């Protein structure tokens, strides 16, 4: 085989003869192909976001990008491994969005967080894959070499993965989408079987159980507080990590959903005292206050946070919501001052995050409420014209644009058309049921079913049954 390794200069037809030239060329091609195959196999063995089957179709990438970039920009006191985990996750989201340079920037920052290479297994794996996707296999091989020098980077199936890798994998599943909650729970549980007092995995396991129980929206189907595995695990996690503000938030939400409101307030206040400038904590506590109809209190918490994070689109959206609900509480939904504040913050949110569609549908509604129908219609049409709208956003658009036509423009026929189109998208969001209720209301108020609503409903049921069968 050593005779194959000759210089490109020597590899010419006149020098070797046609037959030998073709032989050596085929041999070199086979060698290169074998090397490429080995290289790709090494990439596939890596434990990192690129190999965890996190598909963009399963997640709201815009929401995840905004959530994590805002979090990273505000919180500078995160521990190294938490910050590195968020940077790795954010990099992968950027990759899925097609923003390779942003992804690389996040990974370079993640690499700088830890001096100990043993904590960089996932970061190096992500860098190897990202460079491969960017057609820079030379740099990808550099990171493969770095990983080869870290003990346990390429474990065989019988070997135990590093705890740090398992932990980050579980957190990534938990953050990415509800489709992966069970996987996250199983990984955290796997670690706890070997290390039952591991603080981080006790917390992660509690959060996974909390999110899984939260998937059940019907109150009569929820697990009672006293029987809830999530509540039990949250309490256990709190013993290991009493200063974790999000554990307090989740305990507060569990209490609230089980009508233990005084306990819920205690947990929420404690969480806010612990982390008054943690964006996730502040937004969660403010939403709880909104549910409790304490709109001024919620606005105070949110505005205080806004001083530290003026470019948070999520903060602006939540502030706008509270102004809207405050107006309803005062039974003055057209209050010009409150509506003006609401519109201002929705516009700011749209400016900061133009890809977040739902708040902009709300903005169109608010324009209509102040009597600016032309601006409302323009906003509705602008949003509908966007390519690749998420089905949930499209369903919300049809329902709310239907309401605009029904209650503002007085066009019942147009409203019915959009309620039908919203329902036809199936149960992709809670807006489906609202569309259905709107149609039933029209049917009740009109004679002879002039809009063929019954026929439409029957057709929809028949189609659903065919799909299910």
The secondary structure of residue 275, as a DSSP letter, is -
Distance between CA 84 and CA 87 in Å, rounded? 5
Answer yes or no: same fold for 22-149 and 293-385: yes
* CATH superfamily, with its number, for domain 178-275: Tetratricopeptide repeat domain (1.25.40.10)
Q: How far is CA 134 from CA 104, 125, 126, 305, 312, in A?
A: 10, 14, 12, 38, 31
The secondary structure of residue 225, as a DSSP letter, is G
Angle (CA) 16 17 20, round 5°: 75
Distance between CA 360 and CA 252 in Å, rounded? 30
The residue among 431, 433, 427, 437 whose CA lies nearest residue 464 is 427
Residue 298: both structure tokens together: 């919620």
Predicted local confidence at residue 380, as pLDDT: 97
Give me the phi and psi of 302, to 5 degrees please.
-70, -40
Architecture of the 293-385 domain: Alpha Horseshoe (1.25)
Predicted local confidence at residue 24, as pLDDT: 56
The residue among 279, 350, 344 whose CA lies nearest residue 308 is 279
Distance between CA 89 and CA 29 in Å, rounded? 37
Three-state DSSP class for 402? helix
Question: Do residues 111 and 83 touch, judged by C-beta distance below 8 A?
Answer: no
Distance between CA 112 and CA 80 in Å, rounded? 10
Question: Do residues 321 and 290 touch, judged by C-beta distance below 8 A?
Answer: yes
Instruction: Show Cβ contacts of residue 449 under 8 Å, excluding neighbours closer than 6 positions.
Output: 443, 455
Three-state DSSP class for 460? helix
The residue among 202, 265, 245 whose CA lies nearest residue 75 is 245
Q: How far is CA 270 from CA 8, 250, 263, in A?
A: 71, 12, 11
Three-state DSSP class for 68? helix
**Which residue ranges make up each domain of the chain?**
22-149, 178-275, 293-385, 390-468
Instruction: Show Cβ contacts of residue 264 under 8 Å, excluding neighbours closer than 6 positions.
Output: 252, 253, 255, 256, 288
Convert 186-211 to b/e letters by CB count within 10 Å (16 or more is b). Answer: ebbbebbeeeeebebbbbbbbbbbbb
DSSP string, 330-369: TT-TT-HHHHHHHHHHHHHHHHH-TT--HHHHHHHHHHHH
CATH of 22-149, one of 1.25.40.10, 3.40.50.1000, 2.70.150.10, 3.40.50.970: 1.25.40.10
Give me the phi and psi of 243, to 5 degrees please.
-95, 10
Distance between CA 234 and CA 57 in Å, rounded? 31
Q: How far is CA 54 from CA 37, 93, 178, in A?
A: 23, 10, 12
pLDDT tens digits, the chain, 469 residues: what are they?
Answer: 333 334 444 445 455 466 565 655 565 555 567 778 888 888 998 999 999 999 999 999 999 999 999 999 886 555 668 899 999 999 999 999 999 999 999 999 999 887 677 778 999 999 999 999 999 999 999 999 998 887 554 455 334 457 889 999 999 999 999 999 999 999 999 999 999 999 999 999 999 999 999 998 777 778 889 999 999 999 999 999 999 999 999 999 999 999 999 999 999 999 999 999 999 999 999 999 999 999 999 999 999 999 999 999 999 999 999 999 999 999 998 899 999 999 999 999 999 999 999 999 999 999 999 999 999 999 999 999 999 899 999 999 999 999 999 999 999 999 999 999 999 999 989 999 999 999 999 999 887 889 999 999 999 998 887 777 6
Which H helix or E strand runs over 461? helix 453-468
Question: Do residues 422 and 431 touch, judged by C-beta distance below 8 A?
Answer: yes
Convert 83-97 to b/e letters by CB count within 10 Å (16 or more is b). Answer: bbbbbbbbbbbbbbb
DSSP string, 161-184: PPHHHHHHHHHHHHHH-GGGHHHH
The owner of tokens 């942003």 is: 102
Residue 100: both structure tokens together: 């390779």
The owner of tokens 């994070």 is: 309
Neighbours of 118 (CB within 10 A): 12
Distance between CA 211 and CA 206 in Å, rounded? 9
Predicted local confidence at residue 158, as pLDDT: 32
């Amino acid at each position: 085989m050593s005779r194959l390794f000759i210089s490109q200069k020597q590899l010419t037809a006149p020098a070797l003869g046609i037959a030998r030239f073709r032989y050596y060329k085929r041999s070199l091609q086979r060698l290169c192909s074998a090397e490429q195959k080995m290289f790709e196999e090494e990439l596939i063995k890596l434990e990192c976001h690129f190999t965890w089957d996190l598909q963009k179709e399963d997640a709201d990438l815009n929401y995840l990008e905004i959530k994590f970039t805002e979090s990273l920009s505000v919180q500078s006191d995160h521990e190294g491994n938490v910050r590195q985990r968020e940077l790795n996750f954010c990099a992968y989201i950027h990759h899925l969005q097609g923003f390779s340079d942003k992804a690389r920037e996040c990974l370079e920052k993640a690499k700088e967080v830890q001096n100990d290479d043993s904590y960089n297994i996932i970061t190096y794996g992500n860098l190897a894959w990202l460079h491969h996707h960017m057609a820079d296999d030379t740099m990808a091989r550099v990171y493969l070499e770095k990983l080869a020098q870290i003990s346990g980077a390429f474990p065989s199936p019988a070997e135990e993965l590093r705890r740090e890798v398992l932990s980050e994998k579980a957190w990534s599943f938990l953050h990415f989408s509800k489709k992966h909650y069970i996987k996250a729970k199983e990984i955290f549980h796997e670690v706890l079987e070997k290390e039952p007092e591991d603080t981080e995995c006790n917390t992660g396991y509690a959060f996974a159980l909390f999110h899984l129980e939260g998937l059940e929206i019907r109150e009569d189907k929820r697990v009672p507080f006293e029987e809830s595995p999530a509540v039990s695990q949250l309490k256990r996690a709190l013993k290991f990590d009493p200063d974790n503000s999000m554990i307090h938030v989740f305990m507060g939400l569990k209490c609230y959903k089980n009508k233990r409101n005084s306990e819920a307030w205690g947990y929420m206040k404690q969480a806010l005292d612990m982390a008054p400038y943690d964006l996730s904590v502040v937004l969660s506590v403010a939403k709880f206050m909104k549910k409790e109809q304490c709109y001024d209190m919620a606005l105070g918490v949110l505005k205080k946070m806004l001083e530290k994070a003026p470019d948070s689109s999520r903060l602006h959206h939540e502030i706008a919501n509270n102004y809207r609900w405050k107006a309803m509480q005062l039974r003055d939904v057209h209050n010009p001052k409150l509506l003006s504040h609401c519109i201002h913050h929705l516009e700011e949110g749209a400016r900061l995050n133009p890809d977040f569609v739902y708040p902009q549908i709300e903005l169109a509604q608010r324009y209509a409420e102040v009597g600016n129908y032309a601006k409302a219609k323009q906003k509705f049409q602008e949003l509908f014209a966007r390519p690749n709208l998420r089905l949930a956003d499209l369903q919300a658009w049809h329902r709310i644009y239907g309401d605009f036509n029904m209650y503002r423009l007085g066009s019942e026929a147009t409203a019915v058309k959009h309620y039908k189109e919203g329902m036809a998208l199936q149960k992709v969001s809670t807006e489906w049921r609202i569309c259905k209720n709107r149609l039933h209301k029209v049917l009740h108020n009109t004679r002879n079913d002039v809009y063929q609503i019954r026929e439409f409903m029957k057709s929809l049921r028949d189609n659903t049954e065919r799909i299910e069968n």
